[in-house]
Amino acid sequence: MKDALPGAVQTFITLDFFNHDTKHTDMTTGYEPEVNTIFSFKNNIDNFYLKFLDQEYIEAELFLVRGMGGAGKHSVKIGDAKLPLNPVLKHDVNLQVMSFTCCFGEWAGRAAGKVYYKYRMRKKLEEAIKWQNIRADVQNKQYDEQDLRELRHGLKSASTKPSVVSKKIFEITVKACHKLQRSDPNLRGTMRPFFSYDFYKFEFRSATASGADPPFHATKHYQVESTKELHDYMEKQFLKIDFIDEAVDMDAFKQNEMADYIGSVRFPLKTMLQQTQYEGLCPIINMENQKMGTAEIILKYVDADSPEAVVHIRDDREDAFKSQIIQKNVRMLIVRTLAEFDFEHVDTMLDTLFVEDKMDREGQVSIDTFK
């Protein structure tokens, strides 16, 4: 590579780890630069994170800085490397080495130099895992912050009876809709419905689906304290799920400002005070009291320390981390792809990301393609 690069070489390295923002070193000069940079990442220890450390990598990218400054100065990626994370689990604090693979011109695939690095946990992993297990037990048994401090310092046993109110998990699932209709029969084109709702102190908006019989399979779990305020709310309020058609043309609003409104499901929440689960088809009713289709929904109301709820909380946490990692990677892909196009060619750039042969049967970008 030395023959291909200019005499005064300026480089820097970027690092991507877990769901954290991209980190970068300072710019250095020479073929064997000393970086001497420490990056710190704070994470909660749980099963998902331990699995990530065991199987995944830190993605390192090597950039060459070109130009002499000002507007003419820019960087070019010339190599990348994957730094395995499993030495952390093995308590290996020795210096590690990994080669950058060149992705630059005719040298693509060849070694572009080496990076030397090492890992160190601020706290011993066993201590972090032990504390995480105590925290999980606290969350399941609903201890308060004073209990938490006493547990941490050994002043209280984890079997001690909690001193605070119990907690509940309210689960809302919208599986699918059937035979959706528009209030205006003159509107044409494929429906693009989505739904939204408010529950207690939470709100949710779904992704947009397609057609009159759209599958949603959208499930959310909400953890709430079982207080008198919550009981009164459940006793008096309805779960109102509004369905909206995103495909309605803007011109339709000139005649009817609610042209995109399909209708709503209204479910009396007091029903869930007498039972732990409801599953069925609910009518979707518009403002003229007309049935505009049905929604297939499942509702559950269970104790937060029940085995079912504990599994849901863990899965939600893992899904949230996966989503953050995927979103971060997609943002990086879009930014880097945009950098290679003029802004008048944004449509061309989007076509390269989501071409027709990567769509699923319903014309949507698949999860694997999005990843």
Tokens of 291: 């049935």
Q: Answer whether residue 3 is part of any domain.
A: no
**266 and 333: one domain?**
no
**289 and 361: one domain?**
no
Q: Answer whether residue 216 is part of any domain.
A: yes
**134 and 213: one domain?**
no
- Global pTM? 0.48
DSSP 8-state symbol, 365: B
**DSSP strands (E only) in 184-260:** 193-199, 202-205, 215-225, 238-245
Which pLDDT value is given to residue 188? 76
**227 and 294: one domain?**
yes
**171 and 284: one domain?**
yes
Query: Which range of residues forms the domain containing residue 35?
Result: 10-117
SS3 label, residue 122: coil
Q: Answer whether residue 312 is part of any domain.
A: no
**292 and 171: one domain?**
yes
Q: Answer whether residue 5 is part of any domain.
A: no
DSSP 8-state symbol, 305: T
How many domains is the chain partitioned into structurally? 4
- Among 251, 271, 303, the domain boundary falls at 303
DSSP 8-state symbol, 230: H
**139 and 245: one domain?**
no
Which pLDDT value is given to residue 4? 46
Backbone angles phi, psi at 279, to 5 degrees: -140, 125
Q: Which helix (DSSP H) or strand (DSSP E) does residue 298 occupy?
A: strand 291-303
On whether the CB atoms of residues 258 and 209 are closer than 8 A, the answer is no
Sheet holding 202-205, edge to edge: 202-205, 193-199, 238-245, 261-268, 277-285, 291-303, 167-178, 215-225
Residues 174-192 as b/e (b if ≥16 CB within 10 A, e otherwise) read: bebbeebbbbeeebeeebb
Mean pLDDT by 10 residues, the chain (371 residues): 59 90 88 86 78 88 76 78 89 89 85 90 66 55 50 50 69 95 80 93 91 93 89 93 87 74 95 93 94 96 74 62 69 64 53 48 50 48
**160 and 175: one domain?**
no
**295 and 190: one domain?**
yes
Which pLDDT value is given to residue 252? 66
DSSP alpha helix (H) spans, the chain: 47-55, 125-141, 145-152, 228-236, 307-339, 346-353, 367-370
The number of residues making up the chain comes to 371
Q: Cα 206 to the chain's mean position, in Å?
A: 14
Q: Answer whether residue 4 is part of any domain.
A: no
Tokens of 62: 């090597």
Which pLDDT value is given to residue 177? 97
Which pLDDT value is given to residue 368? 55
**60 and 97: one domain?**
yes
**343 and 356: one domain?**
yes
CATH code for the domain of 42: 2.60.40.150
Rounded to whole angstroms, the Cα distance separating 304 from 316 reads 14
Which pLDDT value is given to residue 105? 77
Q: Answer whether residue 2 is part of any domain.
A: no
On whether the CB atoms of residues 78 and 64 are closer than 8 A, the answer is yes
Rounded to whole angstroms, the Cα distance separating 291 from 264 reads 9
**76 and 108: one domain?**
yes
SS3 label, residue 54: helix
